[in-house]
Amino acid sequence: MMLSNLSKRELIILGIVLIIIIFTVYYLYAYKPLTKEINQLETNKNRLSREVRITQDMVKKLPEMRERYNELTERTLYVNYFNISNDKLLVELKQITDNINILFRSYKPNATDNTIDIAMFIEADYYKLNEFLVELQKFEYWMDYKSMSIRPMEDFLQVSLSLKFYKEGLMGGGVNE
């Protein structure tokens, strides 16, 4: 045949070329697509693992969220007589304390025809308290500090704060909400 006419060296070279061609075809049509699919599956696995961890964390937080919901529901008993603008004020104060990570122990609103007096009890370190007071400056045109007492504890400050908000300002009397 045709192969019998080839020398031993040519047969070895031909065998090596055939092996290289077979490995190249295997690499291009079998191995490379499989590794690509494996990488995609690995990426999906990592994404789904992150989603599972997030979901598990949320499930762990459900009792805390339920407790927080109940606490907020109880607080609405205090503010039911306020109008929407006043509710926004209380929500804004709570958001400020949450953003700064201050422990907002309690507050007691008391509304009259023209003002809203709010007594708060918070716990924070010096820097967070300072940041909270700076945040309160956005209310400066329609708020007065009635009283503030600071009691140093071992790791934080206990602050009792009384504020008076004027409804004319809350309702848009010169200042936008």
Helix axes 84-100, 126-136, angle to 10 degrees: 150
Under 8 Å between Cβ of 114 and 168: yes
In terms of DSSP H, where are the helices of 123-174?
126-136, 167-170
Q: Rounded to two decimals, what is the model's pTM?
A: 0.46
CA distances from residue 3 to 20, 21, 22, 65 in whole angstroms, order as listed: 19, 18, 19, 80
pLDDT at 171 over 70: no
Residue 156 in domain: yes
162 shares its domain with 109: yes
- Report the pLDDT value the prediction gives residue 12, as an integer from 0 to 100: 92
The DSSP bridge partners found for residue 116 are 111, 165
CATH of residue 138's domain is 3.30.70.60
pLDDT at 46 over 90: yes
> Among the three residues 80, 101, 121, which one is the final residue of a domain in this structure?
80
44 shares its domain with 69: yes
Q: What b-and-e string marks burial along 96-117, b requiring 16 or more CB atoms within 10 Å of the CB?
A: bbeebebebeebebebeeebbe
Number of domains comprising the chain: 2
- Report the pLDDT value the prediction gives residue 15, as an integer from 0 to 100: 92
In terms of DSSP H, where are the helices of the chain?
8-26, 32-79, 84-100, 126-136, 167-170
Site of tokens 């400020």:
96
Q: Give 15-42 pLDDT, tens digit per residue.
A: 999 999 999 999 999 999 999 999 999 9
